[in-house]
Structure 1
Amino acid sequence: MVYSSSNPVLSNRFWNNISGYETMSYEGTMQKIGILFGIMAFSALMLVTIGITVDMNILIVGTGVGFFGGFITYLILLFKRPENPATLMIVYAVFEGLLIGGFSLIFESMYSGIVFQAALGTVCITGTMYGLYATRIIKATPMFKKIIFTLVGGIMLLYLVSIVLFFLPGNFDVPFLHSSGPIGILITLAILAVASFLLIINFDFIEKGIQNRSPKVGEWWGAFGLLVTVVWIYIEMLRLLAKIRSNFD
């Protein structure tokens, strides 16, 4: 099964499509981040609990609903860019919770402790990237953004091809993308690195929005963009750890 995510809210030009009177603040943005991540965590916990105590088939269905529901909601937010996106973003957080809840339990059933390892790795990556951004060791320059956007686009195209091949008869697949050999591990490491660098652009987007006194609704977009990236990092961490552990367990 293939799961992927990318971040649609990464360009300063995005602000041209937002109108409003109140302006962004750090406090408001952190509040929105807490809301979306909290809802996602609750959704994941509920699915896992129901799957374990009631029926594992519910877990499988919930994971599928999370993937397709999240993908559709993501596309709506990406292309329509509503002026009041809070409701759709909360719905998206629920779907993402279903996705990572089911995804996590599936991997945990194969490799004990892998969820904690992936979560810890995600926290460490997020903290490290924020430190690198805050100290300006890494800056979100136009060239940096262009490179990361190009790489993200290429990765998303690669995943799209992989998903299409998955549903075609004949067991076709993108070579090495899902393999546990050295090349497969290196590919996942490279994808994880790109997802991690995407955080720099997330942080820059939020900071620039606050500095430029952008409309307060931008707090939701900043929180949403961060959620998308962190979930992507977590999923890639799970995949990387699973590939590594499959060679030893």
Structure 2
Amino acid sequence: MKTSNPVLARLGQAAERERAAGYAPAGGYGQPIPGQPYPTADGYPAAPPTVQPMSIDDVVVKTVTLLGITGITAVAAWVLVPDALLGPAWIGAAIVGLILGLVISFSRMANPALVVTYAVVEGVFVGVISKFFESLYDGIVLQAVVATFGVFFLMAVLYKMKAIRATPKFTRGLIAAMVGVFAVMMINLVLALFGFDTGLRSGGPLAIGFSLICIVVASLSFILSFHEVEEGVRMGLPQRYSWTAAFGILVSLIWLYIEILRLLSYFQGDD
């Protein structure tokens, strides 16, 4: 089946190769017959491949699992990492998480171990950054968590009602926006390392506007994730690709949470 989504197309091709490899009987007997989907033995069709296609329930379970791992690791980091090491832990987890995220995103195979490792690393990142903001503004973490899941469920409802649809034009535009926002973040980070303040994270009007843009883009990214899950099920991707789908949702949730946390801090800066 064809799809306009390049990620799904790539995963679909990988899945086809996996299914093709899985068709060969364990004993090596039997040869495929033209028009026959499975190889045969002694003229009789062999059993269908054992690779199970993923379902929406699989993605839900994997997403909840990853959220649980991230949450538990975040609590552990909050409790165990001393205040003096919050900065190094924050930076280290952010760098490792970025590298793992890129490896998973550009990988041609679903890798559950890498996805779980990413959840652990991001749990450390979320835990230390949450502890830092909570030390400055009491109650801000709970507000950010509630707002994050509120936005997530709102986008799920809008997608279910088809109020927002992942059309090819929408997909291209959102991917371009995500790349643009990421590029701006990286440029701002590099300039900050050299002592140049662009104002994007200073709490002023420009910072508020940038955070609002990030929140909108992160929120809309859920539409792409929901669409990828739906299309992945329709294409019959192997069950283990549900980890990849859950990874996409986790990335959007963490990004949205961090941006909401920042935005809330801007409005509490004078407290």
TM-score above 0.5, yes or no: yes
After superposition, the Cα gap between the structure-2 partners of 1:43 and 1:191, relative to the gap in structure 1 and judged at 3 Å, is: same
Does 1:61 pair with 2:88?
Answer: yes
Report if aligned partners of 2:74, 2:125 keep a CA contact under 8 Å in 1: yes
Give the deviation of 1:219 after TM superposition: 0.3
Alignment partner of 2:58: what SS? Answer: helix
Alignment partner of 1:11: what SS? Answer: helix
Coordinate RMSD, CA, aligned: 1.7
1:40 to 50, 66, 70: 70
Which residue does the alignment assign to 1:79?
106
Structure 1 CA distance for aligned equivalents of residues 168 and 257 of structure 2: 26
Per-residue CA shift, 1:88-143, capped at 9, x if unaligned? Answer: 11110000000010000101111111100100110110010000000000001000
Which residue does the alignment assign to 1:228?
251
Does 1:157 pair with 2:196?
Answer: no
After superposition, the Cα gap between the structure-2 partners of 1:181 and 1:62, relative to the gap in structure 1 and judged at 3 Å, is: closer
Alignment partner of 1:217: what SS? Answer: helix
Report if aligned partners of 1:104, 1:115 keep a CA contact under 8 Å in 2: yes
Give the deviation of 1:17 after TM superposition: 3.0
Alignment partner of 2:268: what SS? Answer: helix
After superposition, the Cα gap between the structure-2 partners of 1:150 and 1:69, relative to the gap in structure 1 and judged at 3 Å, is: same
1:105 to 124, 131, 147: 131
Does 1:167 pair with 2:193?
Answer: yes
Which residue does the alignment assign to 1:186?
209
Which residue does the alignment assign to 1:22?
52
Structure 1 CA distance for aligned equivalents of residues 149 and 126 of structure 2: 15
Letter in 2 for 1:31: V
TM-score (norm 1): 0.88
Structure 1 CA distance for aligned equivalents of residues 232 and 223 of structure 2: 14
Identity of aligned residues (%): 31
Report if aligned partners of 2:96, 2:121 keep a CA contact under 8 Å in 1: yes
Alignment partner of 2:68: what SS? Answer: helix
Residues 107-122 of structure 1: matches in 2 within 5 Å? 107-122=133-148
After superposition, the Cα gap between the structure-2 partners of 1:163 and 1:183, relative to the gap in structure 1 and judged at 3 Å, is: closer
After superposition, the Cα gap between the structure-2 partners of 1:10 and 1:205, relative to the gap in structure 1 and judged at 3 Å, is: farther
Structure 2 CA distance for aligned equivalents of residues 10 and 219 of structure 1: 17
After superposition, the Cα gap between the structure-2 partners of 1:199 and 1:36, relative to the gap in structure 1 and judged at 3 Å, is: same
Report if aligned partners of 2:90, 2:125 keep a CA contact under 8 Å in 1: yes
Letter in 2 for 1:89: V
Does 1:125 pair with 2:151?
Answer: yes
Structure 1 CA distance for aligned equivalents of residues 72 and 205 of structure 2: 36
Does 1:244 pair with 2:271?
Answer: no
More deviation, 11-20/70-79: 11-20
Q: Which has the larger radius of gyration?
A: 2
Deviating above 4 A after TM superposition, structure 1's stretches of 4 or more consecutive aligned residues are: none
Letter in 2 for 1:75: L
Report if aligned partners of 2:155, 2:219 keep a CA contact under 8 Å in 1: yes
Structure 2 CA distance for aligned equivalents of residues 225 and 102 of structure 1: 22
Letter in 1 for 2:199: F
Give the deviation of 1:244 after TM superposition: 1.5
Q: Which has the higher contact order (CA 8 A, sep 6+)?
A: 1
Per-residue CA shift, 1:185-237, capped at 9, x if unaligned? Answer: 12211111011001100011111111222221220110000000100000000
Structure 1 CA distance for aligned equivalents of residues 7 and 102 of structure 2: 17
Gaps of 5+ in 1: 1-8
Structure 1 CA distance for aligned equivalents of residues 88 and 201 of structure 2: 23
Structure 2 CA distance for aligned equivalents of residues 185 and 117 of structure 1: 17
Which residue does the alignment assign to 1:213?
236
